[in-house]
A and B are shown apart, each in its own frame.
Chain A
Amino acid sequence: MTSADPSTPTPSPLPDGPVPSPRSAVPSAASIVRARRRASLIRFWRQYRTHRAGLFGLAGLALVALTALAAPLLVGGDVQSVTRAPGKALEAPSGQFLLGTDQFGRPLLGLLIWGARISLTVGLLAAALSVAIGTLVGVMAGHFGGWPATVTMRITDWFLVMPTLVLAIVLATVMSRSVWTVIVAIGVTSWPTTARLVRAQTIAVESRPYIERARALGGGHGHIMTRHVLPNVMPLVLAQTTLGISSAILTEATLAFLGLGDPTIVSWGGMLQDAREAGAVSSGHWWYLAPPGLAIAFVALAFTLCGRAIETVLNPKLAVPR
């Protein structure tokens, strides 16, 4: 995904198209392509670097991702265990438990670190699923046109007017409680915006002369879609994915808070639900409630800032403040 040519919206001075089909490729063609990709990546990074908010988002993401990956080392896998909880119930923050303990006596800091794993996993997978569906539908509808495309886009429109959150909640309610249910519920309800954007971009790309040239040289549907359209649509898709992840993380937290997540897995939304059920609100235990929400907001904001920075690099007209 990252190796795609990110110069799409502003037509690059180089012709984008001369990627010959792999069989007839002279040995040097691949290296030309590779060099060009590398150059455009460097160009992309140079522009991205100027967005302070985007850099902040990226740093935040790196921090959270590292924490999530290192969670087994930092806190150990048995932090979720209710029976082996080290503390007493609902202890306020202290030297031993930096963020206090929950109603089972588990350390909240450990749960918070462990919760990053599920949040990121669900966010990434749900966004990937949604973007995959959206890209597939968008490229197909944009490429083939005609009545199948019309029907597809009608279906997309109809998904667009559905209240996404309500639909996701209903899906999560009628299916069994598991992480996969949450991922599917989010992915299946949030693809239509991507489909619309990708379709518009596909139509724009296909009106360029080099597509006609590729067709004249005998390129089939599959070749044109995967070799010419997709690389040009990818940058847009990347931006859309980044933004989609932050929505997915918020939706995951919402579903978990409503009790629709997997009850056996610690997640930030689930922690908030536990806190509410333990009466943290009426007894004023703000130290129980504050950290999970801050964590959700931090990750969602980091992804949003990255997505907006990517979008601005690709489409300078947006002029997002740096």
Chain B
Amino acid sequence: MSTASTPGAVRDAAGGPVKTGPSRSADRADPGPGTRTAYPLYVAGRLGGAAVSLLAVLVTSFFLFRIIPGDPVSTMTHGAPTSAAQLAALRKQFGLDLPLWQQFTDYCAKALTGDLGTSYQFHAPVGELIMTKLPATLLLTGVAVVIYSALGLWLGTRSAWRNGGLGDRLNTGVALTLWSVPSFWLGLLLIIVFSVGIGPVPGLFPTGGMESGDTTGFARILDVAHHLVLPVLTLVAVGYAQTLLVMRSSLLDEMGGDYLTTARAKGLRDASVRRRHAVPNALLPTVTMVFINLGHVAGGSILVETVFSWPGLGGLFYQGLSVPDLPLVQGLFLVFAGAMIVMNLLADLLYPLLDPRVGR
């Protein structure tokens, strides 16, 4: 049991809410329902689990927004003087005069067909708003996750291989320090230093947004890349610690293995023992974590997108909060939670394929 909880504990240490939240580390440790189960059965089980989770998310998002704020109609009018007839009309328009269970089934049916209601402030369907902002978020988070996973894997490997050395201490120390930094603050500082410019340093990068708008073709790609640098840098800086720590601890777990002694006894060089033998085994928990990070980072990018005025889902979420635009926030909550569930499912499905000891 202690070995099962070991990587989990480290992962939790790194799983800050701002960055990635707690991963399903405990599940990673024992992902298979049983060692004798066939893969199709395992897949069916995981699909069923994901479906139940999605349903649970629907229930949460419905009741969270319907029960807690009291009367949704009075929230909508912001306490402005409204006649009883107007309130009744609003109730009817939003289907709030129906019994609760009927509202709920209506909501589920609509949500499943992609109808997430109408935003109060943009007067447009929430689903449409989300689809227009989705590509920007995918671009930002995709680039960031790829970079910080690669960086974390590389540094984590180096750190574990020279465990306890100066490089290890330095690596872990820097990563932990950056991990403790609030992402929005780092973003603001980067804007001051590299966009506004301090003293003699000129503004090197744009302060926000995704493109300047007057470019086409290849120049446009370069322009977007130019806008991407600072937000990606922020996400990578605060996020790579987690990958590093997990890679480090899972490689440390492998380092005592007899097969490494065998490989060394065969006369293999140190670098090739590490690259060919130790790292592939240690990669397993880390690879699944990359998927989970993909799910987490969409929610985690709320702050970075807000700070850099990135036209993505996180920025939209922030705009929804300030009103508060409940249908929009509710729709985005569904999207963020759904992304997590899908990524968890992918990680679960991938794991037995990568590690034949699990789930077969």
Chain A interface residues (CB < 8 Å from chain B): 9, 53, 154, 157-158, 160-171, 173-175, 186, 189-190, 192-193, 196-197, 200-201, 203-204, 239-240, 243, 246-247, 250-251, 253-254, 257-260, 269, 272, 275-276, 281-284, 286, 289-290, 292-293, 296-298, 300-301, 304-305, 307-308, 311, 315, 317-322
Question: In the assembly, what is the distance between CA of A321 and CA of B162, in Å?
Answer: 11
B137 contacts the other chain (CB 8 A): no
Question: In the assembly, what is the distance between CA of A243 and CA of B56, in Å?
Answer: 28
Say yes or no: A190 contacts B17, CB within 8 Å. yes
Say yes or no: B17 contacts A272, CB within 8 Å. no
Chain B residue numbers with a CB within 8 Å of A318 are 6, 9-10, 249
Among A9, A161, A289, chain B packs the most CB atoms within 10 A around the CB of: A161
Partner of A319, one of B197, B252, B298: B252
Say yes or no: B198 contacts A192, CB within 8 Å. no
Say yes or no: B321 contacts A315, CB within 8 Å. no
Stretch at the interface among B78-86, B172-180, B216-224, B281-289: B172-180
Q: Is the interface of B mostly helix, strand, loop or mixed?
A: helix
Q: What are 28 pairs between A and B in contact, CB < 8 Å?
A: A163-B296, A163-B336, A163-B340, A165-B21, A165-B299, A166-B317, A166-B337, A168-B17, A190-B17, A190-B22, A200-B5, A200-B26, A201-B5, A204-B2, A247-B18, A257-B182, A257-B303, A284-B196, A293-B188, A296-B181, A298-B180, A300-B181, A307-B13, A317-B6, A318-B10, A319-B164, A321-B172, A322-B169
In the complex, besides A243-B12, A257-B184, 9 extra interface pairs with C-beta distance below 8 angstroms are A160-B27, A161-B24, A163-B337, A170-B333, A189-B17, A282-B196, A296-B180, A318-B9, A321-B164
Q: Which residue of B is nearest A8, CB measured?
A: B2
Q: Which residue of A is nearest B67, CB measured?
A: A174
B25 contacts the other chain (CB 8 A): yes
Q: Which residue of B is nearest A290, CB measured?
A: B189
Say yes or no: A281 contacts B191, CB within 8 Å. yes
Partner of A281, one of B22, B27, B188, B296: B188
Q: Which residue of A is nearest B255, CB measured?
A: A319
Say yes or no: B13 contacts A304, CB within 8 Å. yes
Say yes or no: B5 contacts A289, CB within 8 Å. no
Chain A min CB distance to B51 (Å): 12
Chain B interface residues (CB < 8 Å from chain A): 1-6, 8-10, 12-13, 15-18, 21-22, 24-27, 52-53, 56-57, 60, 64-65, 68-69, 163-164, 168-169, 172-173, 176-177, 179-182, 184-186, 188-189, 191-193, 196-198, 207, 249, 252-253, 295-296, 298-300, 302-303, 306, 317-318, 321-322, 324, 329, 332-333, 336-337, 340-341, 344
Say yes or no: B180 contacts A301, CB within 8 Å. yes
Question: In the assembly, what is the distance between CA of A167 and CA of B333, in Å?
Answer: 8
Say yes or no: A174 contacts B192, CB within 8 Å. no
Question: In the assembly, what is the distance between CA of A175 and CA of B9, in Å?
Answer: 32
Question: In the assembly, what is the distance between CA of A320 and CA of B188, in Å?
Answer: 32
Chain B residue numbers with a CB within 8 Å of A276 are 188
Say yes or no: B192 contacts A170, CB within 8 Å. no
Say yes or no: B12 contacts A240, CB within 8 Å. yes
Say yes or no: A258 contacts B16, CB within 8 Å. no
Say yes or no: A289 contacts B192, CB within 8 Å. yes
Say yes or no: A311 contacts B22, CB within 8 Å. no
Evaluate whether A163 and B299 lie within 8 angstroms (CB atoms) in the complex, with A174-B69, A200-B4 already known: yes
Chain B residue numbers with a CB within 8 Å of A246 are 16, 180
Chain A residue numbers with a CB within 8 Å of B180 are 246, 250, 296-298, 300-301, 304
Chain B residue numbers with a CB within 8 Å of A240 are 12
Q: Which residue of B is nearest A260, CB measured?
A: B321
Say yes or no: A282 contacts B207, CB within 8 Å. yes
Question: In the assembly, what is the distance between CA of A163 and CA of B297, in Å?
Answer: 9
Q: Which residue of B is nearest A207, CB measured?
A: B1
Q: Which residue of B is nearest A240, CB measured?
A: B12
Q: Which residue of A is nearest B66, CB measured?
A: A174
Question: In the assembly, what is the distance between CA of A286 and CA of B324, in Å?
Answer: 31
Question: In the assembly, what is the distance between CA of A163 and CA of B296, in Å?
Answer: 6
Say yes or no: B64 contacts A281, CB within 8 Å. no
Chain A residue numbers with a CB within 8 Å of B27 are 157, 160
